[in-house]
Protein backbone atom coordinates (compact mmCIF):
# COMPACT_ATOMS: atom_id res chain seq x y z
CA UNK A 1 0.00 0.00 0.00
CA UNK A 2 1.42 3.39 -1.00
CA UNK A 3 1.65 6.22 1.53
CA UNK A 4 -1.05 8.15 -0.38
CA UNK A 5 -3.43 5.20 -0.28
CA UNK A 6 -2.67 4.57 3.37
CA UNK A 7 -3.36 8.18 4.34
CA UNK A 8 -6.58 8.20 2.31
CA UNK A 9 -7.87 4.92 3.76
CA UNK A 10 -6.68 5.72 7.27
CA UNK A 11 -8.31 9.15 7.35
CA UNK A 12 -11.52 7.74 5.85
CA UNK A 13 -11.55 5.09 8.58
CA UNK A 14 -10.82 7.71 11.23
CA UNK A 15 -13.74 9.90 10.14
CA UNK A 16 -16.09 6.96 9.58
CA UNK A 17 -15.63 5.87 13.18
CA UNK A 18 -15.19 9.34 14.70
CA UNK A 19 -18.12 11.07 13.04
CA UNK A 20 -19.96 7.77 13.28
CA UNK A 21 -19.92 7.90 17.07
CA UNK A 22 -21.09 11.52 16.99
CA UNK A 23 -23.99 10.58 14.70
CA UNK A 24 -24.87 7.65 16.97
CA UNK A 25 -25.03 9.95 20.01
CA UNK A 26 -26.72 13.08 18.62
CA UNK A 27 -29.13 11.85 15.93
CA UNK A 28 -32.61 10.76 16.92
CA UNK A 29 -33.77 7.15 17.22
CA UNK A 30 -30.29 5.64 17.15
CA UNK A 31 -29.33 2.96 19.65
CA UNK A 32 -26.77 5.35 21.15
CA UNK A 33 -28.89 8.52 21.27
CA UNK A 34 -28.05 10.83 24.19
CA UNK A 35 -25.28 8.55 25.50
CA UNK A 36 -23.13 11.62 26.11
CA UNK A 37 -19.85 13.39 25.49
CA UNK A 38 -17.72 10.70 27.16
CA UNK A 39 -18.94 8.16 24.61
CA UNK A 40 -17.96 10.59 21.85
CA UNK A 41 -14.46 11.14 23.26
CA UNK A 42 -13.89 7.41 23.75
CA UNK A 43 -15.17 6.76 20.23
CA UNK A 44 -12.78 9.30 18.73
CA UNK A 45 -9.85 7.95 20.75
CA UNK A 46 -10.48 4.40 19.58
CA UNK A 47 -11.09 5.66 16.04
CA UNK A 48 -7.58 7.14 16.08
CA UNK A 49 -6.19 3.90 17.52
CA UNK A 50 -7.84 1.86 14.76
CA UNK A 51 -6.78 4.15 11.90
CA UNK A 52 -3.18 4.38 13.14
CA UNK A 53 -3.02 0.61 13.64
CA UNK A 54 -4.04 0.01 10.02
CA UNK A 55 -1.74 2.58 8.38
CA UNK A 56 1.32 3.11 10.57
CA UNK A 57 3.53 0.69 8.64
CA UNK A 58 2.67 2.22 5.26
CA UNK A 59 2.53 6.01 5.72
CA UNK A 60 3.50 6.64 9.33
CA UNK A 61 -0.21 7.25 10.09
CA UNK A 62 -0.28 11.04 10.04
CA UNK A 63 -4.02 11.23 9.19
CA UNK A 64 -3.89 14.94 9.99
CA UNK A 65 -2.27 17.90 8.17
CA UNK A 66 -1.10 19.28 11.51
CA UNK A 67 0.88 16.10 12.14
CA UNK A 68 2.47 16.22 8.68
CA UNK A 69 3.37 19.90 9.08
CA UNK A 70 4.60 19.43 12.65
CA UNK A 71 6.88 16.53 11.72
CA UNK A 72 8.22 18.44 8.71
CA UNK A 73 8.96 21.53 10.81
CA UNK A 74 10.81 19.35 13.31
CA UNK A 75 12.93 17.83 10.55
CA UNK A 76 11.35 14.39 10.84
CA UNK A 77 9.44 14.40 7.54
CA UNK A 78 10.29 15.46 4.01
CA UNK A 79 8.50 18.72 3.09
CA UNK A 80 8.08 17.49 -0.48
CA UNK A 81 5.64 14.83 0.76
CA UNK A 82 3.47 17.20 2.79
CA UNK A 83 1.10 18.33 -0.03
CA UNK A 84 0.47 14.73 -1.12
CA UNK A 85 -0.29 13.65 2.44
CA UNK A 86 -2.64 16.58 3.03
CA UNK A 87 -4.55 15.91 -0.20
CA UNK A 88 -4.96 12.25 0.75
CA UNK A 89 -6.14 13.22 4.23
CA UNK A 90 -8.70 15.71 2.93
CA UNK A 91 -10.05 13.26 0.36
CA UNK A 92 -10.19 10.48 2.95
CA UNK A 93 -12.12 12.70 5.35
CA UNK A 94 -14.66 13.48 2.65
CA UNK A 95 -15.12 9.79 1.88
CA UNK A 96 -15.37 8.77 5.54
CA UNK A 97 -18.03 11.33 6.42
CA UNK A 98 -20.05 10.43 3.32
CA UNK A 99 -20.12 6.85 4.53
CA UNK A 100 -21.46 8.04 7.88
CA UNK A 101 -24.23 9.95 6.13
CA UNK A 102 -25.20 6.90 4.05
CA UNK A 103 -25.27 4.67 7.11
CA UNK A 104 -27.30 7.08 9.27
CA UNK A 105 -29.41 8.55 6.50
CA UNK A 106 -32.73 7.45 8.04
CA UNK A 107 -31.75 9.12 11.32
CA UNK A 108 -30.84 12.39 9.60
CA UNK A 109 -34.35 12.36 8.15
CA UNK A 110 -36.03 12.11 11.58
CA UNK A 111 -33.71 14.59 13.36
CA UNK A 112 -35.19 18.11 13.13
CA UNK A 113 -32.28 20.00 14.74
CA UNK A 114 -29.93 21.29 12.02
CA UNK A 115 -27.16 21.94 14.58
CA UNK A 116 -27.14 18.26 15.58
CA UNK A 117 -27.00 17.20 11.95
CA UNK A 118 -24.04 19.49 11.31
CA UNK A 119 -22.34 18.30 14.53
CA UNK A 120 -21.94 14.83 13.04
CA UNK A 121 -19.94 16.37 10.18
CA UNK A 122 -17.83 19.21 11.58
CA UNK A 123 -17.13 21.18 14.74
CA UNK A 124 -18.66 24.33 16.16
CA UNK A 125 -18.05 26.30 19.36
CA UNK A 126 -20.14 25.84 22.49
CA UNK A 127 -19.79 29.60 23.10
CA UNK A 128 -18.74 31.58 20.00
CA UNK A 129 -15.66 33.67 20.78
CA UNK A 130 -13.01 34.03 18.10
CA UNK A 131 -10.03 34.30 20.45
CA UNK A 132 -10.94 31.50 22.86
CA UNK A 133 -12.16 29.20 20.09
CA UNK A 134 -8.92 29.71 18.18
CA UNK A 135 -6.84 29.24 21.32
CA UNK A 136 -8.73 26.03 22.15
CA UNK A 137 -7.93 24.51 18.77
CA UNK A 138 -4.32 25.68 18.90
CA UNK A 139 -3.62 24.40 22.44
CA UNK A 140 -5.35 21.07 21.84
CA UNK A 141 -3.27 20.50 18.72
CA UNK A 142 -0.14 21.68 20.53
CA UNK A 143 -0.61 18.87 23.07
CA UNK A 144 -1.11 16.33 20.29
CA UNK A 145 1.89 17.36 18.18
CA UNK A 146 4.22 17.95 21.13
CA UNK A 147 3.42 14.46 22.40
CA UNK A 148 3.85 12.85 18.99
CA UNK A 149 7.22 14.55 18.48
CA UNK A 150 8.53 13.06 21.71
CA UNK A 151 7.06 9.65 21.02
CA UNK A 152 8.76 9.47 17.63
CA UNK A 153 12.14 10.04 19.29
CA UNK A 154 14.97 12.53 18.75
CA UNK A 155 16.56 10.83 15.75
CA UNK A 156 13.42 9.75 13.91
CA UNK A 157 13.36 10.62 10.22
CA UNK A 158 10.90 8.71 8.06
CA UNK A 159 11.92 9.46 4.54
CA UNK A 160 13.35 5.98 4.04
CA UNK A 161 11.25 3.12 2.67
CA UNK A 162 11.81 1.06 5.81
CA UNK A 163 10.51 3.74 8.19
CA UNK A 164 7.44 5.70 7.14
CA UNK A 165 7.65 9.24 8.42
CA UNK A 166 5.35 9.38 11.39
CA UNK A 167 4.01 7.01 14.00
CA UNK A 168 5.17 3.61 12.86
CA UNK A 169 7.78 3.36 15.58
CA UNK A 170 5.38 3.64 18.52
CA UNK A 171 2.17 1.77 17.83
CA UNK A 172 -1.40 2.96 17.84
CA UNK A 173 -2.51 2.92 21.47
CA UNK A 174 -0.53 5.92 22.81
CA UNK A 175 -1.87 8.22 20.09
CA UNK A 176 -5.45 7.10 20.69
CA UNK A 177 -5.07 7.77 24.42
CA UNK A 178 -3.61 11.22 23.76
CA UNK A 179 -6.59 12.13 21.57
CA UNK A 180 -8.95 10.77 24.23
CA UNK A 181 -7.46 12.90 27.01
CA UNK A 182 -7.44 15.98 24.77
CA UNK A 183 -11.15 15.38 24.20
CA UNK A 184 -12.17 14.96 27.83
CA UNK A 185 -9.88 17.73 29.10
CA UNK A 186 -9.89 20.36 26.34
CA UNK A 187 -12.70 19.42 23.99
CA UNK A 188 -15.64 21.06 25.70
CA UNK A 189 -15.18 24.45 24.05
CA UNK A 190 -15.07 23.70 20.32
CA UNK A 191 -15.43 19.94 19.95
CA UNK A 192 -11.63 19.61 19.43
CA UNK A 193 -11.13 19.29 15.70
CA UNK A 194 -7.31 19.39 16.23
CA UNK A 195 -7.11 18.30 12.58
CA UNK A 196 -7.82 20.60 9.61
CA UNK A 197 -8.79 17.73 7.28
CA UNK A 198 -11.11 16.23 9.89
CA UNK A 199 -13.14 19.45 9.91
CA UNK A 200 -12.80 20.81 6.37
CA UNK A 201 -13.49 17.58 4.46
CA UNK A 202 -16.73 16.81 6.30
CA UNK A 203 -17.81 20.47 6.20
CA UNK A 204 -17.46 20.41 2.42
CA UNK A 205 -19.59 17.27 2.27
CA UNK A 206 -22.18 18.79 4.61
CA UNK A 207 -22.54 21.59 2.08
CA UNK A 208 -22.72 19.20 -0.89
CA UNK A 209 -24.79 16.24 0.28
CA UNK A 210 -28.61 16.32 -0.05
CA UNK A 211 -29.28 16.27 3.70
CA UNK A 212 -32.87 17.09 4.58
CA UNK A 213 -33.26 20.49 6.30
CA UNK A 214 -29.57 20.67 7.10
CA UNK A 215 -29.16 24.42 7.51
CA UNK A 216 -25.89 26.22 6.79
CA UNK A 217 -22.38 24.81 7.05
CA UNK A 218 -21.04 27.69 9.24
CA UNK A 219 -18.30 28.69 6.80
CA UNK A 220 -17.67 31.83 8.85
CA UNK A 221 -16.23 29.57 11.56
CA UNK A 222 -14.39 27.09 9.31
CA UNK A 223 -11.05 28.93 9.34
CA UNK A 224 -10.60 28.37 13.09
CA UNK A 225 -10.36 24.54 13.02
CA UNK A 226 -8.05 24.89 10.01
CA UNK A 227 -5.64 27.61 11.10
CA UNK A 228 -5.80 26.96 14.86
CA UNK A 229 -4.38 23.42 14.58
CA UNK A 230 -1.67 24.59 12.17
CA UNK A 231 -0.55 27.29 14.61
CA UNK A 232 -0.61 24.72 17.41
CA UNK A 233 1.59 22.42 15.33
CA UNK A 234 4.05 25.24 14.58
CA UNK A 235 4.28 26.13 18.28
CA UNK A 236 4.77 22.50 19.33
CA UNK A 237 7.50 21.96 16.74
CA UNK A 238 9.23 25.20 17.70
CA UNK A 239 9.31 24.32 21.40
CA UNK A 240 10.43 20.79 20.61
CA UNK A 241 13.36 22.10 18.58
CA UNK A 242 14.31 24.49 21.37
CA UNK A 243 14.35 21.70 23.94
CA UNK A 244 16.17 19.05 21.93
- What is the CATH architecture assignment of 3-243? Up-down Bundle (1.20)
Compute the distance between CA of residue 61 and CA of residue 58 in angstroms, rounded to an integer.
Answer: 8
Please give the pLDDT value at position 170: 55
Please give the pLDDT value at position 172: 80
Please give the pLDDT value at position 63: 96
In what helix (H) or strand (E) does residue 189 lie, and over which residues does it extend?
none
Q: Is 44 exposed, middle or buried (0-12, 13-18, 19+ CB in 10 A)?
A: buried
**Pick from 134, 138, 156: which is nearest to 235 by CA?**
138
* Cα distances (angstroms) measured from residue 233 to each of 144, 152, 161: 8, 15, 25
Pairing of strands 163-164, 159-160: antiparallel
Compute the distance between CA of residue 129 and CA of residue 161 in angstroms, rounded to an integer.
Answer: 45
Provide the residue count of the chain. Answer: 244
Helices (H) and strands (E) in the chain, counts: 10, 2
Domain assignments of the chain as residue spans, ordered by start: 3-243
Please give the pLDDT value at position 140: 98
- Find the radius of gyration of the CA atoms of the chain: 17
* Cα distances (angstroms) measured from residue 80 to each of 69, 84, 145, 159: 11, 8, 20, 10
Q: What is the dihedral of CA 26, 30, 32, 34, to 10 degrees?
A: 40
As a whole number of Å, the end-to-end CA separation of the chain is 33
Q: For 150-184, what is the HEC assignment?
A: HHCCCCCCCEECCEECCCCCCCCHHHHHHHHHHHH
Contact between 235 and 147 under an 8 Å Cβ cutoff? The reply is: no
Phi, psi of 2 (to 5 degrees): -75, 160
pLDDT, tens digit only, all 244 positions of the chain: 899 999 999 999 999 999 999 999 999 999 999 999 999 999 999 999 999 999 988 998 999 999 999 999 999 999 999 999 999 999 999 999 999 999 999 999 999 999 999 999 999 999 999 999 999 999 999 999 999 888 765 544 444 334 455 555 456 888 999 999 999 999 999 999 999 999 999 999 999 999 999 999 999 999 999 999 999 999 999 999 998 8
The dihedral through the CA atoms of 191, 197, 200, 202 has a sign that is: negative
Please give the pLDDT value at position 166: 56
Amino acid sequence: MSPFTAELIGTALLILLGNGVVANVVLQQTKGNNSGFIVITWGWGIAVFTAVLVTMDYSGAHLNPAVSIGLALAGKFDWSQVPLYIFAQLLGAMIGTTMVWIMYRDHYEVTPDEDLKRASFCTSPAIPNTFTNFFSEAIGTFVLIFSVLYITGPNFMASTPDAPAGLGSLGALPVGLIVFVIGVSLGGTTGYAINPARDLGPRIMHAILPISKKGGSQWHYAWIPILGPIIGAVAASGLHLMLT
